[in-house]
Amino acid sequence: MSREHLLEALEQHMRRQNVHGLYSLSMDHSPSEQLTGETWHTTVLIMSSHMQHEMLAVRLARRLRHKTGILMKWTNASKKYRDCFLSVFFEELNVSPAVSVFAISAKEGEIRDSAEHFIRELGLQQHYNRVETLAGKIRVEIGPLMNVTKGEKVTISLSENRALMGLFIAHFVIRMQSCMYEAAKNINQVSMINLNFLGDKFPGPPGQEMDLMFQALTSFSRATGRIAWGYFGESDTEQMDLLADNLAGALNAMHRKQGDFPGFNSDKMDSGLFYWEVWSA
């Protein structure tokens, strides 16, 4: 789906709702939030204005696990659970008019090769530096940035494998927010698109490294709205977070195994919005 088709789909989706410009989001990644040598990486955003994606997760869990009614971590799921997941997910999404899903899958090589593109579009040309340690490893330093709350300059230091995924994820989130803003503006719905994240915690210490990088990159410009970042203390028990974990795992598995899943047909969505962007050479 091109940007033009996405904007058209978003406009139609928003016209069916009472859009007020504030969304709650769940986000997760497969296989993880850092480059690990895997061929494919997938990031998923699932959002709604009044937490309707939580109810989607509950309905999905009841169908996939009748006895417990709780979704499993994708890495622990049985073959039967995995084989059924996408089919049931799309059935439930199709009766969830207020839920939007944005996903992106890219080969690891594509993410590495796109670093300069991300840096340029995020305005980091003077603030992104690769530094070789005494041990011969590459770390990335982002800064100096101004912490307006404390009134002091900050430089973020993290491994290159995490920094590259941080660029990839933040760039996608900002682009999707921009598309939502443009679609809403076209139909004169709202003046801002504000996103409140409840995601899976990034690797590294809270408030530092990748966590701080994502917050900083998504806060540079507020012309289209605010992006607020937070995460669950125990995400493995939260249905919304498990939903994002499952969908990221399922979509990534389609590429990794070059397989197909019963019921996968995003072109026939009547209700909920589903957008999936795939990068490959």
In a domain, 143, yes or no: no
Q: Name the residue with higher pLDDT: 254 or 76.
A: 76
d(CA 68, CA 3): 40
CATH of the domain at 65: 3.30.420.10
In a domain, 39, yes or no: yes
CA-nearest of 110, 84, 107 to 246 is 84
In a domain, 148, yes or no: no
- Per-residue pLDDT at 235 exceeds 60: no
In a domain, 121, yes or no: no
State which amino acid sits at residue 195. L
Tokens describing residue 280: 């490959």
Residue 69's domain spans which residues? 3-109+160-279
Per-residue confidence (pLDDT) for residue 151, from 0 to 100:
79
CA–chain centroid gap for 67, Å, is 30
DSSP state of 231: B
- Per-residue pLDDT at 263 exceeds 60: no
- Domains contained in the chain, number: 1
Question: What are the tens digits of pLDDT across the range 154-177?
Answer: 899 999 999 999 999 999 999 999
Backbone angles phi, psi at 97, to 5 degrees: -65, -20
Per-residue confidence (pLDDT) for residue 17, from 0 to 100:
81
In a domain, 115, yes or no: no
Q: Name the residue with higher pLDDT: 75 or 260.
A: 75
